[in-house]
């Protein structure tokens, strides 16, 4: 890769040259690669076209799942969630045993690969919240209920400095991959004091469509706050908040 060494540092395009700044300084590269029309039509690039179709399909499906879960995702996600989720979506798609290359889909793949996905890789749920929980599912009524055992906050969680309060997050979303639609419901606990008091069992319930045959994603997480003059403020813009896909329920 050629490097600009002159006094004048340029960025942009000059003919077939692209001038840009990188961590190594101001660089220059020549436009190249294979013609787009050839990739779209040449039989030699059929595998490339197949890969491109599946890459795009996984990206669209990942975007749909993020949209379905946005009510809680916006409060506990890292900067690379889009790329990380797309990677898992590709893995799901590649397990499709029905369709051939280029036509494989998420719907026919093993969606359980998404079970345990951490929305904030910097704060895994298992390293943040140490409370046993269960998920009760009733497809006939459409109720998905997360139940947590009784716990003492100071013993049951790893909190960032300055924490005085916490709140549990949860959501369930039924997602129609083929029609690009979804229905989601979230429920938070109240703000609770981070102290040694023993809290009773807790339940976070989500009412979805009765008798739905769609896959349902359920998440559980936690966010932290600090009380100042009677107001509770989120800590570090959610950097320490944990959120995990704890279930992918399929029929």
Residues 230-241: tens digit of each pLDDT: 999 988 767 899
**Which is higher by pLDDT, 5 or 190?**
190
Question: Are the beta carbons of 249 and 229 closer than 8 angstroms?
Answer: no
How far is the C-alpha of 250 from the C-alpha of 129, rounded, in Å? 26
pLDDT, average across residues 110-128: 96
* pLDDT at residue 4 in the model: 43
Residues 57-114: tens digit of each pLDDT: 999 999 999 999 999 998 999 999 999 999 999 999 999 999 998 899 999 999 999 9
Name which of 64-68, 100-104, 170-174, 187-191 the model is least confident about: 100-104
Give the pair of three-digit tokens for residue 11. 């960025």
pLDDT score of 15 more than 90:
no
> By percentage, how much of the chain surpasses pLDDT 90?
73
Helix axes 46-68, 81-93, angle to 10 degrees: 120
């Amino acid at each position: 890769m050629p490097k600009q060494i002159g006094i004048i540092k340029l960025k942009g395009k000059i003919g077939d040259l692209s001038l840009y700044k990188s961590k190594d300084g101001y660089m220059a590269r020549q436009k190249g690669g294979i013609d787009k029309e050839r990739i779209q039509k040449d039989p030699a690039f059929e595998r490339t076209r197949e890969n491109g179709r599946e890459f795009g399909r996984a990206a669209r499906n990942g975007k749909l799942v993020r949209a379905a879960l946005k009510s809680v995702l916006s409060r506990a996600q890292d900067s690379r969630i889009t790329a990380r989720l797309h990677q898992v979506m590709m893995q799901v798609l590649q397990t499709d045993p029905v369709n051939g290359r280029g036509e494989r889909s998420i719907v026919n793949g093993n969606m359980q690969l998404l079970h345990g996905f951490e929305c904030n890789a910097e704060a895994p749920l298992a390293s943040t919240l140490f409370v046993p929980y269960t998920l009760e599912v009733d497809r006939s009524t459409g109720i998905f209920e997360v139940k947590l055992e009784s716990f003492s906050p100071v013993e049951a969680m790893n909190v960032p400095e300055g924490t005085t309060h916490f709140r549990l997050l949860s959501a369930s979303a039924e997602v129609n991959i083929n029609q690009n639609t979804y229905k989601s419901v979230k429920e938070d606990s109240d703000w609770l004091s981070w102290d040694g008091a023993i809290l009773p069992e807790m339940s976070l319930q989500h009412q979805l469509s009765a008798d739905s045959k769609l896959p349902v994603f359920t998440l559980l997480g936690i966010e932290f706050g600090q009380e100042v003059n009677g107001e509770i403020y989120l800590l570090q813009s959610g950097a320490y908040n944990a959120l995990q896909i704890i279930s992918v329920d399929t029929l």
